[in-house]
Amino acid sequence: MQARVAACTACHGAQGKAGADGYYPRLAGKPSDYLYHQLLNFRDGLRLYRPMTHLLAGLPDDYLREIASYFADQHVPYPPPVRPVVSADMLEHGRVLAMHGDPARGLPACVACHGAALSGHSPAIPGLLGLPRDYIGAQIGGWKNGLRRAAAPDCMADVAHKLTPEDIGALSAWLSSRPVVEPYLPDPAGATTLPAECGSQAQR
């Protein structure tokens, strides 16, 4: 397995702890099904990033599932967050969206799907803390412009389309500023009722 994941850790860091430049996200400890779906999505063109697609081309599903399980089982300490240089009002806007959403616009809170501690929700919803601000903003932008997709119904795409650029900036700033409190583990499947049907939670 160490040889198999060497191509992954070259960018994503030892044990998948995250790349040094903040562009390659943490893999360690993410839900196994989430990681597996992302590998499938890169391989099959639902998520667009050519180096990943090239790396995964032709690899069978079982092989990818074993890689996903390996990284899901890695538990590496999180570094302290970097506080963004933004206004208090911007951080508060991000906090409100993350914790309460905006019912008037049909926006669920991040915690409604990603867990009360924002640590994710099994089997396939990832945690949102411990990620760089630019990476969070880029991923929400990817959902919004179609560069990133998931199994239908694509609930995250629906959410992203309702977010304004100001919302995305505020969310990415606030989420990236939050410390990770251990144990940082995804909520078990069925622990809560999601506010929308998400195809990724039913996908196997």
Q: Which two tokens stand for residue 83?
A: 């506080």
Q: What is the pLDDT of residues 76-134, one digit of tens each?
A: 999 899 889 999 999 999 999 999 999 999 999 999 999 999 999 988 999 999 999 99
Whether residue 151 contacts residue 186, with contact meaning beta carbons closer than 8 Å, is answered with no
Q: What is the pLDDT of residues 40-81, one digit of tens each?
A: 999 998 898 999 999 999 999 999 999 999 999 999 999 899
pLDDT of residue 199: 86
pLDDT of residue 204: 67
Whether residue 168 contacts residue 140, with contact meaning beta carbons closer than 8 Å, is answered with yes
Most confident of 75-84, 96-105, 143-152, 186-195: 96-105
Percent of the chain with pLDDT over 90: 80
Whether residue 64 contacts residue 5, with contact meaning beta carbons closer than 8 Å, is answered with no
Give the least confident one: 103-107, 111-115, 164-168, 200-204.
Answer: 200-204
pLDDT of residue 61: 97
Residue range 177-182: mean pLDDT, rounded:
95
3-state secondary structure of 132: coil
User: pLDDT confidence of 23, banded at 50, 70, 90?
Assistant: confident
What is the full DSSP assignment across 40-92? HHHHHTSB--HHHHHHHTT--HHHHHHHHHHHHT---PPPPPPPPS--HHHHH
User: pLDDT confidence of 192, banded at 50, 70, 90?
Assistant: confident
- Preceding amide of 123 cis, omega within 30: yes
Contact partners, residue 127, CB within 8 Å, separation at least 6: 29, 30, 114, 115, 118, 119, 120, 184, 186
What does the buried/exposed string (b/e) look like for 116-126 if buried means 16 or more CB atoms within 10 Å of the residue's CB? Answer: ebbbbbbbbbb
pLDDT of residue 189: 87
For residue 10, pLDDT over 90 is answered with yes
Average confidence score pLDDT of the chain: 93
For residue 203, pLDDT over 80 is answered with no
For residue 150, pLDDT over 90 is answered with no
Q: Which two tokens stand for residue 124?
A: 């396939």
